[in-house]
Structure 1
Amino acid sequence: MEDKSARMPPPRLLILSVVLCLLFSLRVDANGGTENFSRATDPPGRELRGVWMATVLNIDYPQRPTTDASTLMADFRSQLFRLRRAGINAIFFQVRPAGDAIYPSRYAPWSEWLTGQQGTAPASDFDPLAFMIKEAHAQGVELHAWVNPYRAAMTLDSTRFAAKHLYHRHPDWIRAYGGRQYLDPGLPQVRQHLGLVIEELVDNYDLDGIHFDDYFYPYPVQGVTFPDSTTYLRYGAGKSLGDWRRENVNTFIAETHQRIKSRKPWMQFGVSPFGVWRNRSQDPTTGSATSASVSSYDDLYGDALAWAQRGTVDYLLPQLYWHRGYAPADYDILLRWWVNNTPRDFPLLSGQAAYKVGDNPEAAWDDPLEIFRQVNFNDQYPSVAGSVYFSTRSVLANKLNFVGVLAQRYATLSILPPRKAPGGVKEVEVKVFRPRNTDKGRLIVWEVQGEMPKEDLPHYYAIYRRGSDGQRRLIHRTPYGQGCTRYHYYDQVEASMAYDYFIVALDRYHRVMPDAVAK
């Protein structure tokens, strides 16, 4: 192998390297010359670091219902700013809490938790979802629309429902259970309606994903049966009640995946199931070594393993809301179980119980490092692509210095893991100009060469800096989806310091884009 050390530039020389995906890197010296000098690898430090932002009961947003657009905007900006400081790079925002909407919808009234009264719109034609997507993307944060598909209302008091609510439009679809109201998952017309809800979101918004949580059939109330016997008699087709209910959910999951991918194939679709699929006592072959009182498969009729095996979800995000060593449902046992029982390399995320930190009778949650250790434990498993915390309010409450713990875990920037895509990565030709020191810092400028359709341009860029220790460190991500052809960045370093810079173009799937020619 050729010894390149003899041709390294003197310490004060400004140099720039452009990463060409899996091909080679170029060093641009002060005179504009280039030289192949190393193999490039996929950028390091990929991880999804997410939070759920709940709107139901005003858990997270808005902190107080209002029709005032400026107040709603300021509330989200404040939370986004603080979440980014904690290292968060993805938000799962609840857009459909209970048969209502946090955006203008043909199919549901405005949410009472947004404006204070169901059916009342924000002032000035304000669209909170469109605003949040734009704000999040400008900060390099993904925004996924979290939908509760079957929950129709948190109350039986119909006087609180707007005329547009399904209780008034399709009362035959509604089932009362446990003091709340739900759409009947066994009705084909319910599934068709929910498909239109999903299509409206996908078509109208530049979302990064659609997300369902653990609520399919409702959590069981002891001694009370969910009232779908008439639907079962009509559509059960000889199946057992459990198999029929699971098939209703499976069909809806598969149809949702197809609807999304046929419109925007880059948009993710995933589910956050209850953390216990089945106990070993319920399924000696596949069940986990747990003794949970509820299981997703038997009680909520969500068969997450089937979705992963059939490819009808892009990821699973099991809610692992128990501490390490908790006998009925140990965190470590459950994480390993999900890794071992989903297809190899299937993307998993872990749901973390931020709401228990400093606020739970179990002593483990008085340890501010409990979740820190859980997330570090995840690192042993390559298929675990990150963590999501429930919920925003619990994170920002900062009990036991939880924000500081997250900041310690997420001390460096991160880009998201690459995602499965239907085709190859498009090539992009990038010209990088020689960096120069200015009174604002070291200026780095680059631009896309040639004509490219806007949709083929890089979705964003990541800038890595390498010093004398040979380590590449991510120092900046550009905003998502700017659609620009020319960019610049000021690196706040001393003028005398010599660094290599790697400009990495990434597409909507977070894949590195090959550079056909560098100039």
Structure 2
Amino acid sequence: MKVRTLLCVCALLFSLTVAAQFQPEKYPKREFRAAWIQAVNGQFRGVPTEKLKQTLINQLNSLQEAGINAIIFQVRPEADALYASQLEPWSRFLTGVQGQAPNPYWDPMQFMIEECHKRAMEFHAWINPYRVKTSLKNQLAPTHVYNIHPEWFVTYGDQMYFDPALPESRRHICMVITDILSRYDVDAIHMDDYFYPYPQKGLDFPDDESFARYGGGFSSKADWRRSNVNVLIKKIHETVRELKPWVKFGVSPFGIYRNERTDPLGSKTNGLQNYDDLYADVLLWAREGWIDYNIPQIYWQVGHPVADYETLVKWWAKNTENRPLFIGQSVMNTVQNADPQNPSMNQLPRKMALQRAYQTIGGSCQWPASAVVENAGKYRDALIAEYHKYPALPPVFEFMDNEAPAKVRKVKPVWTADGYILFWTEPKYKDEMNRAVQYVVYRFDAKEKVDISNPAHIVAITRDNFYKLPYEDGKTKYRYVVTALDRLHNESKTAAKKVKL
């Protein structure tokens, strides 16, 4: 009887422990809250410089108010550039004509980096590795690398791509990334779901000649194609680590890795597969440490007959391969579909609960950013009022750096012509990995216990070394606490100051 009782108690404790692991944290202090800003939808094309700058500022302000802390901005849609490049021509998605510089001249990537960092947002430079033409009718600039090395490229249907098999293709792509890293203060290099192209019915990718030349040692073309992409991913990761070890390299692949009918370890889905159709072995990349984060695009709804959102979230949560996992969310799909368990509501509450129910999921990325800005289905309102009610710091990437910066020095309130300002001095640092680049300001009542794990106390996340205090009548005491963050968001110990406001 005692043994049975003991077993029951143990079983209860185990079940409570498991349940606790899947309890959503309502207001997490650490969460990746990103949004994709695309270029290929034509929203930038031909827009006058000052008007486009203001549009982007308005978008960033709106996203910041919605709690977004990272922007994934498309800078290389078709082996071109939304930035000043000597390697590839200006993008037609900016000026309307590939190779034509903006007039008045400006650099959209540099502009966005500066504006994101002003708002304490990360900037992820989003590149498409292989794609060159989405339609063969599109004209390439005379300076495009195709006109120098046409042998590096293949056409597939009505599209053109770098041949993924060629060492020259990989070398050029890595040169582009090296150029970006050497000249721009990006926080990450990002690639989406376009590896080998999405298959067209009855049309095989034209790489027989490359397979004959480079496919020795492979029993199947599929394995060889996957190897080609693997080599590129590994080389990009090595390039990033060598040049700037604090910069992350992440991918946002198609939402299905493999179906269970193809692989017993796959998900209970019946859609196109990363591994078999796009030759993207995402789990291998994570397992080998070649990517620093993974954002599978789970753009379907809960209850989808072929690719159920809940099924896929659970599958990816169990198959992270010890790399940070975030969920790619479709805003429009979420607000246009009712929750099967509560038909009077859209699917945002259900999806957010699922996302936060797993400790292996560290946040999400919204597709597209414009739908958040436009408040489709009151999505932005819900983020502000509930899901992003308080600020969040991006997750730490301990496998890249787990050493916190030193704490700030000389915290002091000073009356100035601009008001009552809390100043502090940047902490000393030994190298770039350890340098403070942001600060978090918390506020507590004078006698309240300091608990910086509660994001409700965050009043600012800033790159400045000062914060304007909300002075009223000087009769109420508060304690302000300041911490420093390094490039990978490790947080320092606290420095505090009591003030009367």
TM-score normalised to structure 1 length: 0.82
Residue by residue over 1:338-377, the C-alpha shift from the partner in whole angstroms, topping out at 9 and shown as x without a partner, is 1212224x21000001132455799999976413321221
Q: Aligned residue for 2:353?
A: 376
Cα deviation, residue 156, structure 1:
0.6
Superposed, which structure 2 residues align to 1:109-508 within 5 Å? 109-157=89-137, 160-239=139-218, 240-284=220-264, 286-292=265-271, 294-344=272-322, 346-358=323-335, 369-408=346-385, 409-420=387-398, 422=400, 425=403, 427-428=405-406, 430-433=408-411, 435=413, 443-448=421-426, 456-467=434-445, 472=454, 473-480=456-463, 486-491=465-470, 495-508=474-487
Greater RCO structure (CA 8 Å; 6+ sep): 1
Q: How big is the alpha-carbon RMSD for the aligned residues of Structure 1 and Structure 2?
A: 3.0
Distance of 1:387 and 1:122 partners within structure 2: 33
Query: SS in structure 2 opposite 1:121?
Result: coil
Residue by residue over 1:474-503, the C-alpha shift from the partner in whole angstroms, topping out at 9 and shown as x without a partner, is 4333434x6xxx534324667444333221
Q: Aligned residue for 1:65?
A: 46
- Tell me: CA distance 1:474–1:129, structure 2 relative to 1, closer, same or farther (3 Å): farther
Cα deviation, residue 261, structure 1:
0.7
Unaligned runs of 5+ in 2: 1-26
2:293·2:325 contact (CA, 8 Å) conserved in 1? yes
Distance of 2:311 and 2:400 partners within structure 1: 34
**Which amino acid in structure 1 is aligned with residue 308 of structure 2?**
D
Query: SS in structure 2 opposite 1:49?
Result: strand
**Which amino acid in structure 2 is aligned with residue 228 of structure 1?**
D
**Which amino acid in structure 1 is aligned with residue 376 of structure 2?**
K
Cα deviation, residue 323, structure 1:
1.4
Distance of 1:428 and 1:122 partners within structure 2: 43
- Tell me: CA distance 1:57–1:157, structure 2 relative to 1, closer, same or farther (3 Å): same
Distance of 1:190 and 1:140 partners within structure 2: 35
1:45 aligns with 2:24: no
Cα deviation, residue 267, structure 1:
0.4
Cα deviation, residue 177, structure 1:
1.6
- Tell me: CA distance 1:411–1:516, structure 2 relative to 1, closer, same or farther (3 Å): closer
Distance of 1:452 and 1:489 partners within structure 2: 29
1:273·1:304 contact (CA, 8 Å) conserved in 2? yes
**Which amino acid in structure 2 is aligned with residue 100 of structure 1?**
D
Cα deviation, residue 48, structure 1:
1.2
Unaligned runs of 5+ in 1: 1-42
Distance of 1:102 and 1:189 partners within structure 2: 23
The farther-off stretch of 398-407 and 454-463 is 454-463
Query: SS in structure 2 opposite 1:123?
Result: coil
Cα deviation, residue 238, structure 1:
3.3
Residue by residue over 1:163-212, the C-alpha shift from the partner in whole angstroms, topping out at 9 and shown as x without a partner, is 12233222222222232111110111111111101111111100010000
**Which amino acid in structure 1 is aligned with residue 487 of structure 2?**
R
Q: Aligned residue for 2:19?
A: none
Task: Tell me how many residue pairs correspond in the alignment.
Answer: 465
TM-score normalised to structure 2 length: 0.85
